[in-house]
Amino acid sequence: MRAASGITLLVVVGAAFALVPREPSADPRLKNAFRSPQENGWTFVHLEGEPSEVGFQHGALLAPEILDGQRTIAAELTHDTKKPWQFFRDAAKDTLWPHIEDEYRKELEGIAEGVRSRGVKLDVWDIVATNAWLEFNPYYVQWYNKKHGVTSPATVVTQEHCSAFIATGSYTKDGRIVMAHNAWTGYGDGQRWAIVFDIKPAKGQRIVMDGYPGLIHSADDFAINSAGIMITETTISGFSGFNPDGIPEFVRARKAAQYSQSIDDFARIMQTGNNGGYANTWLAGDRKTGEIASLELGLKNVTLKRTKDGYFAGSNFPANEKLVSEETDFKTSDMGLSANARHARWDQLMTEHKGRIDVAAGERFMADHYDTFDKKDQPGERSLCGHIDLSPRGSEPWQPPFGVAGAVQNKVTDSTMAEQLSFRGAAGHACGLHFKAAEHLAKYPQFAWQKDFLRDLNSQPWTTFRAR
C-alpha cells in the first residue's frame, strides 16, 4: 500500500512540475530564499526580503504546489457553493482588493509573478481568491446570496476547523507557555496543508508558521514570531456574518503574526477592520511575560480574556452567550456535538495533567481518541484527533456521515522552543491511523466528486522544525 501511494504522489507532483523549466533562471530575487526536500510529509521554505521579493520567492519555489492547491480549493468551493471559480476571482478583485494594504498587495502580486516565472498560468486574482477561500465559504457567500435573494445550498455552512489549547503558570511543567493545535479540514485540501514557512520580512518580526501553498497567512493559524508572540485558533461553529467593507481576515491574520510584539498588539490588529470572515476564537501567548489570552472574535461581539496562570482551549465552541445568541445557531447544550464533546475533553485533560503539561503531553493530546459523550475511546468527530471519515454520524451540518474530513496535521511548541522559532509538527493523524483514499471512495461512492484531487493521508512521525 505504501509503494502504491508513493507512485500516485509522484505522478501528481510530476504532472505539476511539467509546467516548470528544468533549470530555473537565476533570478536575483531568489538569492536569499530556498526550499528543503520534503521531511516526514512537510516542505520547509525560507523567504526573505521586501514584500514583492517574499511573494516572488514564494511563487517561484512552490509553483507546482500552488497550482495543485488552487485547483483543489476551486473544486471544493465550486462543489459546496454551486458558484464558478470566476465568481471568487471577481469577489477578490471587487470586494477584497480595495481593503488590502499596499504591503500585502505587493506580496500577493509577487506570488503571481513567481508562479508565472515557472510556467504556471495563475494571476493575482487567483492568488487573492485562494487566500480568501476560508472566508468565502460560508461568510461571504452567505452575505452575497442574502443580498441578491439567493438561497444558499446546504453545503454553505461554517466548517469545524481544529482543536487547540494554550496553557501557562501552574498548569505547565516549567510554568511557561505550552501551545498545541491540530488542523481539521477536508482531507483533499488538508493533505496539501504541509508547508513550514520561515519568513524574514524587511519590516516587522520574523515568522515561523505552518501553511498552505500560495497563502500569505497560516490559514489554520499556528505561528510564532521573533518578538515572542505565539498564535493559534479554532473556528466558531455555526457563525454567520460578513462586512464587505472590512479588511480580509487573511490580511489581518498575517499582519498580526508579522507585527505583534504583545498580546495588546495582537488583539488590536485582529479587531481593526474586522470583516467577520473566518470567525475564530484566537489563542495567543507572549513568551516574554508568560501571559496567554483568548480572543473570541465575532463580528458584533468580541471577548478578550487573559491570564498568567491557567489555560484556554478551543474546539469550535462559542463561549460568549451574547455572541452565541446573536451571531450563531450553535446549540451549547447538546453534548453530543463535536465541539461540545471536545470542549469537555479539553477540560478533563487540563485538570488531569495540571502541573505536568509540556510538549510531550501536547503531542499525546493531539492523538487523543476519548469520546466524552459515549465515555469511551473511539476515533470519530467527537475525539480531539478527528476522524469524521470513521463516524456514522458525521459532523452535521458541515460533514455528512463518513465525510472525508478530520484532523490533517498537528503542531506543538512551548516558550523554550519559541525562543528558537521552533515547533514540533506531525503530518496526518497524530494517533498513527492512515486514511486510504481509494478504499474510502469505493466504500462511500457519494464522495466520488473528490476523486481527482483526493490522496492518501498517511500519518507521519513528529518532527522538529526551526528558523534557519
Place of cell 497560516: 218
Residue 312, pLDDT above cutoff 70 = yes
Residue 1, pLDDT above cutoff 90 = no
Strand partners, 50: none
Distance of CA 326 to the CA centre of its chain: 26
DSSP letter for each residue of 385-423 = S-BGGG-SS-BTTTB-TT-SEEEEEEEEEEHHHHHTTEE
Residue 80, pLDDT above cutoff 50 = yes
Residue 7, pLDDT above cutoff 80 = no
Q: Are 435 and 187 contacting, i.e. CB atoms less than 8 angstroms apart?
A: yes
Q: How far apart are CA 20 and CA 22, in angstroms?
A: 6
Q: How far apart are CA 179 and CA 293, in angstroms?
A: 12
Determine the pLDDT at residue 3.
Answer: 34
3-state helix, strand, coil in the chain (%, to 5): 40, 25, 40
pLDDT tens for 313-371 read: 999 999 999 999 999 999 999 999 999 999 999 999 999 999 999 999 999 999 999 99
- Nearest in space to 177 (alpha carbons), one of 439, 413, 400, 409: 413
pLDDT tens for 21-64 read: 334 458 999 999 999 999 999 999 999 999 999 999 999 999 99
418 phi/psi in degrees, rounded to 5? -65, -30
182 phi/psi in degrees, rounded to 5? -125, 140
Q: Where are the domains of the chain?
A: 2-26+50-147, 163-466
pLDDT confidence tier of residue 19, bands split at 50, 70 and 90: very low
Neighbour-count burial of 36, counting CB atoms closer than 10 A to its CB (0-12 exposed, 13-18 middle, 19+ buried): middle
Q: How far apart are CA 45 and CA 61, in angstroms?
A: 8
Helix ranges, 284-367 (H):
321-327, 338-352, 359-366
399 phi/psi in degrees, rounded to 5? -125, 135
Determine the pLDDT at residue 160.
Answer: 82
- Nearest in space to 271 (alpha carbons), one of 283, 286, 259, 256: 256
Q: How far apart are CA 92 and CA 113, in angstroms?
A: 17
Residue 76, pLDDT above cutoff 50 = yes
Q: Which fold has domain 163-466?
A: Penicillin V Acylase; Chain A (3.60.60)
Q: How far apart are CA 204 and CA 11, in angstroms?
A: 40
34: three-class secondary structure by DSSP: strand
Q: How far apart are CA 68 and CA 70, in angstroms?
A: 6
Strand partners, 163: 182
Strand partners, 413: 179
The three cell numbers of residue 59 are 511563487
Residues of the chain with pLDDT > 90, as a percent, come to 94
Determine the pLDDT at residue 25.
Answer: 53
The three cell numbers of residue 344 are 469537555
**Any residues with CB less than 8 A from the CB of 354 and at least 6 apart, and which?**
170, 171
Determine the pLDDT at residue 5.
Answer: 34
Determine the pLDDT at residue 251.
Answer: 98
Max distance between CA atoms of the chain, in angstroms, equals: 60
Q: How far apart are CA 182 and CA 408, in angstroms?
A: 7
